[in-house]
Each structure stands twice: as structure tokens, then as C-alpha cells.
Amino acid sequence: LSCLAHEVFYQLTPSFYSCLLGKSFYHLCFLSQIFEWWYFRKYGTSFIEQVSVSHLRPLLGGVDSSSPSSSNTSNGDADSNRQSVSGKKWLRFSYTWVTGREPLTYYDMNLSAQDHQTFFTCDSDHLRPADAIMQKAWRERNPQARISAAHEALELEDCATAYILLAEEEATTIMEAERLFKQALKAGEGCYRRSQQLQHHGTQYEAQHRRDINVLVYIKRRLAMCSRKLGRTREAVKMMRDLMKEFPLLSMFNIHENLLESLLELQNYADVQAVLAKYDDISLPKSATICYTAALLKARAVSDKFSPEAASRRGLSTAEMNAVEAIHRAVEFNPHVPKYLLEMKSLILPPEHILKRGDSEAIAYAFFHLQHWKRVEGALNLLHCTWEGMFHEVSVYPKKELPFFILFTAGLCSFTAMLALLTHQFPELMGVFAKAFLSTLFAPLNFIMEKVESILPSSLWHQLTRI
């Protein structure tokens, strides 16, 4: 048998090994493609892209998107413009009590779990028992199991993320949620101070410090939102301003949008304009709040005296033209908002997660900002007269674009499989094609070399080739 195996081994040709390598590579690509497709269908994101961003980029010296030293642009691409709407957690219980149905679908829970794991977990959580429990709790679908896990974590130590979970999912009133967030703030500040001293001792401590920053910013923002809902608007504005000064580059929580709404409630339009001048910039992802607040301020200057009949006779003034252009710009960004502001469509409670430029963002914006438009005399009338010119149909639920890694893997897998199959079936013909392809590829280079040889003297060319 050994002699037979030895003889067979030496009879194998190089073409066999090339075919074997091609088929093996094809099988690996096929399996990775199946896994990538399954992961994308289940979690809504590319596994390869997630691993590259979360693990490979920090190793290669890239900047983590959750780091306070980098501004967030992503949450900015057309895909995954998902933004959690704050201030509605306590509405779940009343909704369930009235309708008898759970307000959060599996899709909502899945998106929330992704956000929580991004903001509140890190690779070193397994070293601390309470954080290890919370890491499992964020992935748990059963609300009671999540709450029980949070209580279990608090029995071990003061865990800031456990208080966050209880404030958002167990508290039934805003005052109770505020009390839990204050306890979370006390625990979170302690963790932040400890990790700040150790952040330069290694990659693990640096990741832990980034997580503690996210937790601290999230808690302070939620406390500001509680103050806003309890009527302490000036206190909420001060908390938001202090938070933006302390962490100016953390734009992923969209604190400036909450600040805009609070300033509009105070009718402090000069400060609203100052915030817009800072954040209504092309470097940051746009939102309905930014676009329509800018339109509201422009409309405020002319809306009280605006008349469609007078405008049609004498034409639009410069200020009116600026207001109309601002409204058109806002409608171009999200065409769903005017129908909710003008109450042409029924206004419902905002969803747990919104999609930028979608119907869900329009509902969320109108729910919190309709009162500000009504407060400005004539603003809704100006909107009613001018918005239809820029209205366009867009999908309420646009399809997700497949990530580049899925398309690239599929193309590479198919191309490799085709080459392996053709080489195995027609080795001689593929050899001819390979030679023809290489000759065509190098034809321009050969042409240039011939021209150079004809132009340069033969003696000089001989000396150059010797060098």
C-alpha cells in the first residue's frame, strides 16, 4: 500500500494541485458566504464588517467610532441611520395596559440589544462578575429575565449599567426613573475616574475607559431628559450644555437635538439659532430636527405677515424666499413631516427606533415639535402654502443595501469557482486563454518597449540594459 501511495503521489500533476486549491478556496468562500448571509439576515449587519470595525481597525491604528476623540459620522451613511428615540420608555407600561399588546417587537428588541452592547459592554467585562451578568442581560429577550439579572448584578456591586436597565425597564414613573439614574450616575462616575487613571496602561484599559465614557454620557443625557419631562426645562438645558462642553466630540447621542427642543420650549430662539449654526453643518449627518428647526426659525421672521394672495401679486421678498427655501430643504430631506405637522395624518406615539428620512422619524419629530410650530403665528400656514412643491415619494421602509463585503465575497467566490471548473474540464484550452490574456495584458508594455528601442540609439540602449 505504501508503494502504491508513493507511486500515485508522484503521478499527480501541477494542474491537479491547482484544481484542488481552487476547489478548496471555493468551498471556504461558499461557507463564509452562507454564514455572512445568515448573520446579515438575523442581526441586520455584516459580520465581516463588524469584526473589521470592532477588532481589526484598533489593532491597525484606526480610531474607534465610540472614542471621545473622534466625531461620529456613521451612524451617517444612508444605511444604518438608526437612532434610538429617548424619553418613551415609561410609555410601554401604559400602552400594554390599554391595548393588551407588547409595544416592542423582536425587531425593536434586536436593535436595542445592538445599541446596548455597543455602548455598555467591552471585552474586559468577563473579568468583573457584575459586568459579566449585565453583558448577558443586554442580550436577553425576556424583560423579566433582564430585570432579574440587573438585580443580581446589584447584589454583587454598584453597577451603573444595572441601574440604567432598571430605570428604563422597571421604573413606572419619570421620578422613579430619575432616582435610579442618579444612583447610576454615582456608580458611573466612580468607574469613570478609576478607568481614566488606567486608560494608558494597555488596550484593555483603553476600551474599558471608552465604555465608561459612553455609560456616563448616556446617564447624564437621560437625567437631562427626565428634568425636561418633569418641567425643569432650564435645568435640563444647563445639564445638556455642560455635557456638550465636557464631551464635545460625542455626537452619536444627538444631545444637540434634545437641546434644540428644550430651547424651543423656552422660546429662546437666539440660542436655538446659535446651536443650529454650530451643528447644521455638512460634516454631520442631517436630521429632521435640524432641517425643520432651521425652517421654523426662517419662517418665524415672516410668517405672521405672510399672505399667499399678496405674495402672488407682488412676489416673494428676500426674507420670504429664504423661508421658502428652508422649508423646501427640509421637505427634500424628509417629505413625511409636513403631513404630521399639518395634522393631515394621525399622530401616534413615536416608535422605539427611527429611520432617518423615513416615516418613523417624521412621527417622532412631529410628536415632540408640533407644539413649537403652533406657537409661532403663521408658521403652519406658510408650511401649508409651500411644502407641496418639493414633496416626493420615498419608501417608508427602504430596503437595506447589501454590505460591500457580501457582494465582494459573492463575486470572488463565483469567479474562483468558474475558473476552477473550466481549468478542470478544459486544461489545454484554459492554458491557451491564459497565454492570450497575458499577452494582451503585456501588449501595451511591449509596444512601448519597441518604440523606445526604435527611438534610442542601439549603443545607448545596450548600455542601459547592461545597467
pLDDT digits (tens, 9 = 90+) for 446-464: 888 777 777 766 666 566 6
- Residue 47: is its pLDDT beyond 90? no
Express each pLDDT in 245-289 by its tens digit.
888 776 667 788 889 999 999 999 999 998 888 876 655 557 888
Q: Give the pLDDT confidence score for residue 224 in this predicted structure.
A: 93
Q: What DSSP element (H or E) covers 355?
A: strand 353-355
Q: Taking the model in full, what pTM does it have?
A: 0.61
Look at phi and psi of residue 430 and say left if phi exceeds 0, alpha if psi is from -120 to 50, else beta. alpha
Query: What are the Cα distances from residue 397, in Å, to 2, 125, 288, 393?
Result: 65, 36, 17, 12
Higher per-residue pLDDT: 171 or 405? 171
Q: How far is CA 189 from CA 131, 156, 195, 249, in A?
A: 16, 18, 10, 19
pLDDT (0 to 100) of residue 234: 93
Question: Strands 353-355 and 82-84: what pairing?
Answer: antiparallel
pLDDT of residue 365: 92
- Asked if 410 contacts 34 with a C-beta cutoff of 8 angstroms, the reply is no
Confidence at residue 428, expressed as pLDDT on a 0 to 100 scale: 83
CB distance 254 to 290 below 8 Å: no
The predicted-structure confidence for 317-333, as pLDDT tens digits, reads as follows: 788 888 888 888 888 88
Record the cell numbers describing residue 95, joined without a space. 400602552
Nearest alpha-carbon partner for 178 in 235, 132, 131: 235
Q: Is the pLDDT of residue 78 over 60?
A: no
Q: In the predicted model, what is the mean pLDDT of the chain?
A: 76
When comparing pLDDT for 270 and 73, which is higher? 270
Q: Is residue 118 predicted with pLDDT exceeding 80?
A: no
Residue 368 in this model has a pLDDT that exceeds 60 = yes
Would you state the pLDDT for residue 128? 80
Q: How far apart are CA 91 and CA 87, in angstroms?
A: 9
